[in-house]
């Protein structure tokens, strides 16, 4: 009897272990997320945002938080059709997938005061002539997206973008400098402060030479940008809201961005910035994108 009970107990343990393994395998096959990584912190207790975020390039390889990442343009933009003279329409090319066209299908767009819509449409029509990105100047906020690389100290933070652009911003809670606030800059005059685990960067004193986004979405020198950075483990969440009481009917918040930390220690360590150069002149002087 004792031996029978012992054998039964051993068998029960084996079955329980097998069920546990099976349950674990099902959880993994169902895409259950592994345990979240701890958020590294600076000596002062604030989250450490330092790192290479995403795969590189402007915006750090970030994507909207509601983007499934499939890259299937035919599903994202179902109204796009191939014309009889178009070849490989499913691929993203200048002729077959007009970035200005697809951008119009995004419901989240800046809302302008009625008197400025004619200007937006005119700039959009003549994008190849007026779009600031063809002038080798910074994309600015919010068009540049999230930074590619971040270096954080106790008193400031350095944000690096594609093309060699960077910003050095104090994060000690200081106010805007009254003199610098009267000038104009591509990236604005910025100061940072912490609200809990969220870094908030407040920027004013912009020039009017950049656009909010493609499609003729211009702004005035009255623009203001509020950026929010929050790190959770190896994920960085980025959101920006722009205000421009001169031309916008209401503040605009583009789609929030989410980046993963790039673990490659050499990621982003380029020998020198990539120079801006004209590589598309034939298309720039026509309206082929439209």
Average pLDDT value for the chain = 78
Query: What six digits make up the tokens of 46?
Result: 């604030």
pLDDT in tens, 91-119: 544 444 456 666 667 788 999 999 999 99
pLDDT bucket at 135, cuts 50 / 70 / 90? confident
Nearby residues of 176 by Cβ (< 8 Å), 6 or more positions away: 189, 191, 202, 204, 205
The whole-angstrom separation of Cα 50 and Cα 197 is 14
The torsion of the CA quartet 120, 139, 108, 55, rounded to 10 degrees, works out to 150
- The H or E element that residue 158 is part of is strand 156-160
**Cα–Cα distance between 52 and 266 in angstroms, integer?**
9
- Checking 276-285 for CB contacts under 8 A at 24+ apart, the result is 276/136, 276/163, 277/136, 278/134, 280/94, 283/94, 283/128, 284/128, 284/129, 284/134, 285/128
- Peptide bond preceding 132 in cis form (omega within 30 of 0): no
**Structural domains of the chain in order of their starting residue, each with its CATH number:** 51-70+112-265 (2.40.128)
Collect all residues with Cβ–Cβ distance below 8 Å to 146 and sequence separation of at least 6: 53, 54, 59, 60, 62, 236, 238, 257, 259
Q: Is 145 helix (H, G, I), strand (E, B) or coil?
A: coil
Using DSSP, state whether 120 is helix, strand or coil. helix
Q: What percent of the chain is modeled with pLDDT above 90? A: 52
Q: Which of 10-14, 81-85, 113-117 has the lowest mean pLDDT?
A: 10-14
Q: Which two tokens stand for residue 173?
A: 């809670």
**Alpha helices, DSSP H only, in 46-133?**
73-76, 99-104, 117-125, 127-130
Q: Which letter does DSSP use for residue 251 in this model?
A: -
Q: What is residue 164's predicted lDDT score, i.e. its pLDDT?
A: 83
Question: pTM of whole model > 0.95?
Answer: no
Cα distance between residue 186 and residue 202, in whole Å: 14
Lowest mean per-residue pLDDT among 3-12, 51-60, 235-244, 263-272 = 3-12
């Amino acid at each position: 009897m004792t031996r029978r009970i012992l054998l039964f107990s051993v068998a029960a343990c084996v079955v329980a272990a097998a069920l546990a393994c099976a349950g674990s395998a099902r959880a993994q096959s169902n895409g259950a997320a592994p345990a979240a990584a701890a958020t590294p912190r600076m000596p002062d207790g604030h989250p450490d945002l330092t790192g290479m975020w995403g795969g590189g390039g402007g915006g750090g390889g970030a994507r909207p938080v509601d983007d499934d990442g499939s890259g299937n343009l035919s599903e994202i933009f179902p109204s796009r059709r191939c014309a009889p003279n178009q070849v490989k329409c499913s691929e993203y090319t200048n002729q077959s997938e007009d970035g200005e066209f697809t951008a119009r299908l995004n419901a989240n767009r800046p809302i302008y005061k009625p008197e400025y819509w004619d200007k937006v449409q005119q700039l959009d029509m003549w994008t190849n002539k007026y779009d600031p990105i063809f002038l080798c100047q910074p994309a600015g906020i919010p068009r540049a997206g999230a930074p590619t690389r971040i270096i954080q100290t106790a008193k400031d933070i350095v944000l690096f973008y594609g093309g060699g652009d960077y910003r050095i911003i104090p994060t000690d809670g200081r106010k805007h400098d009254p003199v610098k606030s009267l000038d104009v800059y591509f990236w604005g005059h910025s100061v940072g402060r912490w609200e809990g685990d969220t870094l908030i960067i407040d920027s004013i004193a912009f020039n009017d030479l950049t656009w909010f986004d493609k499609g003729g979405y211009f702004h005035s020198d009255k623009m203001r940008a509020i950026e929010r950075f929050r790190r959770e483990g190896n994920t960085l969440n980025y959101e920006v809201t722009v205000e421009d009481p001169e031309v916008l009917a209401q503040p605009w918040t583009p789609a929030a961005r989410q980046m993963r930390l790039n673990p490659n220690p050499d990621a982003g360590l380029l020998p020198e910035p990539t120079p801006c150069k004209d590589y598309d002149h034939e298309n720039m002087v026509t309206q082929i994108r439209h």
